[in-house]
Amino acid sequence: MTKLLFVCLGNICRSPSAENIMNHLIEKAGLGDRITCDSAGTGGYHIGSPPDSRMAMAARKQNIELLGAARKFQRIDFENFDLILAMDRDNYRNILALDNTGKYQDKVRLMCEFCQKYDLKEVPDPYYGGPEGFDRVIDLLLDACEGLLEYVMSQEDLRVSHHSES
């Protein structure tokens, strides 16, 4: 089982979208027993809130329902997850700032590393912008999540073949 954690600032726009899009792709691929997803924010302003309604509207256009309640990223998440996907560089820096010893830095990656169509380096924060920003986030995350799913499955296959060799 591979455990993925998506992280943004507020955990009400980008990271819950990533989590629910990824769950959608996992379900479509019949991989629900192989990969699990969660999301969190580096900030605590929106703890307990459901996903932003503008974000939910943009996701619904792609037949994806945004479920969840915001929570804050905690140090224990370094232990509990295999991969931690930061939406932008600030998120990345704020996550790594909690890893005093650097033990977990290889688990933390930028979400856009997994994009195959887009060449953006960060998922832009849509919170203070117009509706097109939310559509763009969904499109970008669909691309990144597809790449991420391929990556995770290739890593799982490697692990399985290592096990069968030993």
Binding-site ranges for ligand 4NP (CB under 6 A): 8-14, 45, 125, 127
Tell me whether residue 34 is one of the annotated catalytic residues: no
CB of 17 to ligand 4NP, least distance (A): 8
Specify the residue, 127 or 151, whose C-beta has the smaller distance to ligand 4NP: 127
CB of 116 to ligand 4NP, least distance (A): 22
Catalytic hit among 115, 125, 143, 145: 125
Tell me whether residue 37 is one of the annotated catalytic residues: no
Q: Report the C-alpha gap between 42 and 61 in whole angstroms.
A: 27
Q: Packing angle between helix 53-60 and helix 14-28, nearest 10 degrees?
A: 30
Q: Which residue is nearest to ligand 4NP (CB)?
A: 10
CB of 76 to ligand 4NP, least distance (A): 21
Specify the residue, 32 or 44, whose C-beta has the smaller distance to ligand 4NP: 44
Alpha carbon distance, N-terminus to C-terminus of the chain: 19
Q: Report the C-alpha gap between 69 and 1 in whole angstroms.
A: 23
By the 8 A CB rule, do 48 and 77 touch? Answer: no
Q: Report the C-alpha gap between 49 and 116 in whole angstroms.
A: 32
Specify the residue, 2 or 50, whose C-beta has the smaller distance to ligand 4NP: 50
CB of 81 to ligand 4NP, least distance (A): 18
As given in the structure block, the two tokens for residue 86 are 């930061």
Q: Report the C-alpha gap between 7 and 125 in whole angstroms.
A: 12
Specify the residue, 13 or 152, whose C-beta has the smaller distance to ligand 4NP: 13
Tell me whether residue 14 is one of the annotated catalytic residues: yes
**Residues written for the chain:** 166
* Residues annotated as part of the active site: 8, 14, 125
